[in-house]
Amino acid sequence: MLLGAGLLLASAVATAATPIDENRPLDPDGRVEIENLKGRIDVQAWDRPEVRIEGSLGKGAEKLEIHGDRQRLSVRVKYPNRGGLGFLSGDNTEPTDLRLMVPLRADLEIDSVSATVDVRGVAPRELSVDSVSGDVSVIGAPGEASIDSVSGDLRLTINSHNVDVESVSGDVELRGRLDGDVAVETVSGQIDIAGHESSIRNLSGSSVSGDMTIATALASGGEMSLETVSGDVELRLPANLSANVHGESFSGDLELPGAKVDHARHGPGSSVRHRYGNGDGEISIETFSGDARLRLD
């Protein structure tokens, strides 16, 4: 009995994750680079000139590497190297959870493979998140934001002048005050943009088979370019829209308020052009087989 209990205890100790409890100084406008392949990466802002790192190092991970100085700090979970492919090849390591508190305006660069990424309350000049299959959630006000994923879903509430989002099969939900340049691209993922109280200067949306739903406003002299192959497009803009709108489709339906759609005399194909208000801005919508419609609210 005692021997069995001892073996069970030893097994529990051997498989337990290693606690992480570290502090490093960082200038308020410094930079933090975070890398964790699997598990979680949670980042929140605070008003201290330092980085607090907590969490647990998963069984099988070699160590937590922390390098740098007050201007630039690197936090990286090191995994065993198996044939140069790391944890992607025959890996049986347990997930590592990282929780970081960072200065409010510190720049952030986050890389993961399957880790879930959650960023809250930050306001850096630059925010970069690169993920493969992990979901990404961001609430913040970066000057510039670049978010990339392959199959993970992206849930973003961002107040920013410059946003660039790319996904392959993951869905993209973008919210916030978006008053500059916005570029969103997917292959099969859905795109849902709602820029409340926003007047976007330049919006580029591209999808192969994913649908696009966009509700925002266009700044005076602004431009929008939306393209899909088989995905549908629904664009909702304010009733006082001032823009020239051009739509084309090979086999999809086009619908614009007060506009006449021209159909090709021979074979498929349709197009439409219409000016709203003074025509200050430019809007282009192109699809192959997807439907496209504009709504003025």
Q: What is the pLDDT of residue 70?
A: 97
Across the range 24-46, mean pLDDT stands at 97
Quote the pLDDT of residue 263. Answer: 87
Residue identified by tokens 């498929």 is 268
Q: What would the pLDDT profile of 238-268 be if each residue is shown by its tens digit?
A: 999 999 999 999 999 999 999 999 988 777 8
Contact indicator for 77, 53 with CB cutoff of 8 Å? no
Hey, CA dihedral for 130, 171, 87, 52, is it positive or negative?
positive
SS3 state at 87: helix
Instruction: Tell me the C-alpha distance between 225 and 52, whole Å.
Output: 42
Closest CA to 66 of 20, 117, 3, 16: 20
Map out the domains of the chain as residue ranges.
153-297
- For 76-134, the pLDDT digits (tens) are 999 887 544 444 444 688 999 999 999 999 999 999 999 999 999 999 999 999 999 99
Do 150 and 132 touch, CB atoms closer than 8 A? yes
Is it the case that residue 3 has pLDDT exceeding 50? no
Q: How far is CA 35 from CA 57, 62, 115, in A?
A: 13, 14, 10
CA distances from 273 to 106, 132, 185 (A): 46, 40, 25
C-alpha distances in angstroms, 178 versus 77, 109, 112, 113, 222? 34, 21, 26, 28, 13
- Distance (Å, whole) CA 174 – CA 161: 14
Mean of per-residue pLDDT scores for the chain: 91
Confidence of residue 197 (pLDDT cuts 50, 70, 90): confident
